[in-house]
Structure 1
């Protein structure tokens, strides 16, 4: 049986939130005041699994460190270099008991490449230094059955730390994609099973064709390296470089691939194995790695390629 299904596997990508402002309510809000200590006791982290990476969705995991039960009504993230975030799906009121945590699903705001990006901190600085702010909306007491998250509640403003510098990484990747696209259009045009040369002789694998189409009047873009993925490895080495990429001058690069692994769950759990990591220079300036996606049909063909090359029955 061919393994084509994908199952979510949470990746440990986190952004911590620490309270920095007292709770406040909008004029006319008919809500009970929050019990003492709730605003100071709330904390959260932003989690992003591999199913959310490509379209910049995330989950804000809010933890109630106070001694009072509250209702979580929603939340938003405000980061430098990003527009306003938005809810990912329906907002539901969730009871948040002392010591418990709940997820808020959101979409990161539109990346603004003309604005200063979030700081890319690391180590202890990333754990403690805020790089953005957020607002979490809560109400006193637990939620009632059928209550949605439309109520205003009480807004608690928080500072945001980013232990893994994800906000900076997403900003850099999106802006690099846009810059590269001003000079060249990159797209996968073909994926097929084939016998390919390797250092140990010919082996079952496949070929992926990447179209490299210059944009008239744009900057000079040169591909310098394409890395392997969790599913695919270069047939002749650790990455495609140099002579592997000379075809870009003629409008396409053909990549000989072999499976990176042959344990079936690598396909069953795949989320990013069909995104080609491309390293490029624009007018001689190196850019952060960007990812060229495949269509649904090309993803299926890639899974078939791995299936056949691994000899699964």
Structure 2
């Protein structure tokens, strides 16, 4: 082999090796870039794992509402709206509010799934009100949550769009103040044949420690008083300090209407507004029949109105 030919072959081998090295280096660079992009995607590109575990995920909002059917049982509903693209699972939940004497706890100890683009109402049991706290205030909700790839426990301000808490707090603080002077209850119910009034009995039991006036009781959307249809039935009961003898007031009651759907869909038919006066200040409390008595009253309305069995 000539000296020139050997030189050419050696140069060709060196050029080929250089191409191999450049290809290998290029492959390593591409792999590094791919891994970097993957890391970026994992860190925040999906939007699923970048949520703070102590804050609600983006596009999740909360508010507090009370349905008409919740009034007698003193429930409320934490409405959770999920406008995101992934489902949200909600576990333990409670509401804190300075106007209540303790947290409002979730009634059902289970998990709830809030589908993407939907909302779910989670019931809570309202505790007794805290008095004397201001009627106006702001509550918070604390809940355990999880999505596809993230989870946490968040505390967030809780909107009250219907503003039901301030009047509830005012009424129940007034009822607490009344209880220092007298205990007012719906003590009994005696049904009647169709066409005749039933008897609803109020018992006013003075404590001897204060004074109050129980002025009247209003009709409901379902029940009214003989002689005072659709208006307040006067009571005119004066409780004086040192009074201890119980007072019974018998109210002749009839159904206000006999539409079957009104009874079937009843929410507040056995919750009565009562006008009172404390320290010269007029106000109102709500007096609700017990669940057992409510069932008996609704059964009587159906029989009195002649509904089919």
Alignment TM-score, normalising by the size of structure 2: 0.70
The answer to whether the 8 Å contact 1:81/1:111 transfers is yes
> 8 Å contact 2:146–2:152 — kept in the other structure?
yes
Q: Look up the match of 2:51.
A: 34
- Sort the Cα spacing of 1:181 and 1:110 in 2 relative to 1 into closer, same or farther, 3 A: closer
Q: Which runs of 5+ in 1 are unaligned?
A: 1-30, 120-130, 144-152, 197-202
> Following TM superposition, by how much is the alpha carbon of 1:50 offset from its aligned partner in structure 2, in angstroms?
3.7
Cα distance in structure 2, aligned partners of 1:312 and 1:269: 14
| Counterpart Cα distance in 2 of 1:38 and 1:294 | 38
The equivalent residue for 1:88 is 107
Which residue is 2:204 aligned to? Answer: 212
Displacement of 1:171 after TM fit? 1.4
Partner of 1:132 in structure 2?
A: 139
Larger Rg: 2
Could you tell me which residue of structure 2 aligns to residue 172 of structure 1?
170
**For each residue in 1:43-64, what CA deviation from the matched residue of structure 2 results, as whole angstroms up to 9, or x when unmatched?**
1232333443223222212112
- Counterpart CA distance in 1 for 2:291 and 2:58 is 46
Aligned to 1:290: 286
Structure 1: distance between partners of 2:193 and 2:119: 51
Instruction: Report the counterpart of residue 117 of structure 1 in structure 2.
Output: 135
Match of 2:82 in 1: 64
CA distance in 2 between counterparts of 1:42 and 1:254 reads: 52
Match of 2:294 among 286, 299, 304: 299
Q: Which has the higher contact order (CA 8 A, sep 6+)?
A: 1
- Note closer, same or farther for the CA distance 1:246–1:56 as it changes in structure 2 (3 Å cut): closer
Give the Cα–Cα distance (whole angstroms) in 1 for the partners of residues 287 and 184 of structure 2.
Answer: 10
Which structure shows the higher helix fraction? 2
SS at match of 1:261: coil
> If the length of structure 1 is used for normalisation, what is the TM-score?
0.69
Task: Give the Cα–Cα distance (whole angstroms) in 1 for the partners of residues 260 and 163 of structure 2.
Answer: 32
> Distance in 2 between the 1:41 and 1:159 partners?
15
Give the Cα separation in 1 of the matches to 2:296 and 2:98. Answer: 40
* Structure 1: distance between partners of 2:114 and 2:191: 51
2: CA distance, partners of 1:38 / 1:222: 48
Q: Give secondary structure in 1 for the equivalent of 2:142.
A: strand
Match of 1:239 in 2: 231
> What does residue 256 of structure 1 align with?
252
Change (3 A) 1:248 1:312: farther
